[in-house]
Amino acid sequence: MRIIFVTDFHGDKHKYDTLIEVAKRTRADLVINGGDMLPNKCDLFKQGDFITDYIADHFLAFEKAKIHYLCFLGNDDLRIFDDIFSRTCSRFSHVIDLAQRRVTIGQYEFIGMNYVVDYPFRLKDRCRKDAADYVLQYQQGSALLSAPDGWQEITDWPGYINTLPTLEEELGRLPELHDASKTVYVIHMPPAKLNLDKCASGDYVGSQAVYNFILKTQPRLTLHGHIHESPEVSGIWLANILNTTCIQPGQTLHGLIYVLGDLDTMQFKRVVANH
C-alpha cells in the first residue's frame, strides 16, 4: 500500500493544493494528514469557515481521485470545530476523521490520537499531563479553552488539568489493536528519546507516555508531527522502538515536506518540495 504522510499545514492552501498533485502523480493509495490542519495566523474562530469553504473542496478532490484520506485536527485547531470537521469528513466515502478512532483499509488498521503533552502556550483545548507525575512547565499567561461564545479563561490551569485524563490514560482508551504487525498509529505528539521532538531552542519535548505505549504495543508504524523544526534541528525524521518504525517528517514555512512510503515493503522517503 502506497502512502503519503503530511502534518502541520496550518491552513497553507499551497501545501494542500500541492498534496493532491503529489498524491495523483505518485499513485498513492492513501494520504494521512497528522493534524494542525487549520489556519493559526488569523482569528482562530474563523477556522470553521476554512473547513466549510476550503477543506471540503480539498476532500472532494481526493474523493474524485478515489484516494483514501485519513486526518484529524491538532492542538492549534479549535475543539469547538470538531463536530463540523467530523461532519465534513463524513460527506465523503474516502475521508475519515481518525481522532480517537480505528479504521481498516485493505489489510492494515489505522488508529489516531490528537492530544498533546501540555506546553507553556495559552491554547489548551487538547493538552494533557503526560502522566500523573508530570511537572507542568512555566505558563505564558492564563490558559484558554475555546467555547462557542469565545474564549473560556482558566485561571487555575494546574488544578483544571488534574481533572482531565493524562496522555497515558488517553492512549490506554484508544481502540484495541487487533494485529500489531498490521497496525499504524497516527499520534500527533512525538515520543521522547528518539530525537523526533527537538525544538529550535535545543529542548526535547516528546512524550514519555507515547514512547512507553509504542514500546508496549509494538505496532508496524507510528506517525507523528507537532514539532515542525525537529528533523532539521536533530537531523532525524525516522527512528525505531524495537520493531516499530516511527516517523516525524516536520514541516517548513515554505514549500511542502511529506513522506512517501510503502506499508508492504516498509520503505520510506522524506521529500522536501520547495515552492
d(C-alpha 259, C-alpha 196), whole Å: 14
Mean pLDDT of 124-142: 94
DSSP 123: B
HSE-CB at 51 with a 13 A cutoff on CA atoms is 26
Residue 275: is its pLDDT beyond 80?
no
Q: Are 128 and 82 in contact (CB under 8 A)?
A: no
Q: Which of 98, 102, 95 is nearest to 57 (CA)?
A: 95
Residue 141: is its pLDDT beyond 80?
yes
Mean pLDDT of 201-222: 97
Q: Are 111 and 101 in contact (CB under 8 A)?
A: yes
Mean pLDDT of 60-78: 98
* Residue pLDDT, tens place only, 86-101: 999 999 999 999 999 9
CATH number where 102 lies? 3.60.21.10
d(C-alpha 250, C-alpha 65), whole Å: 26
pLDDT value of position 137: 86
* Residue pLDDT, tens place only, 13-65: 999 999 999 999 999 999 999 999 999 998 999 999 999 999 999 999 999 99
Residue 234: is its pLDDT beyond 70?
yes
Helix (H, G, I), strand (E, B) or coil at 63: helix
How many domains is the chain built from?
A: 1
DSSP 8: -
Residues forming beta bridges with residue 68, ordered by sequence position: 30
Residue 143: is its pLDDT beyond 90?
yes
Domain that holds residue 267: 2-273
pLDDT value of position 79: 98
* The three cell numbers locating residue 258: 511529506
Residue 207: is its pLDDT beyond 70?
yes
Helices marked H in 113-224 — which ranges?
Answer: 157-161, 167-172, 208-217
Residue 274: is its pLDDT beyond 80?
no
Mean pLDDT of 143-162: 96
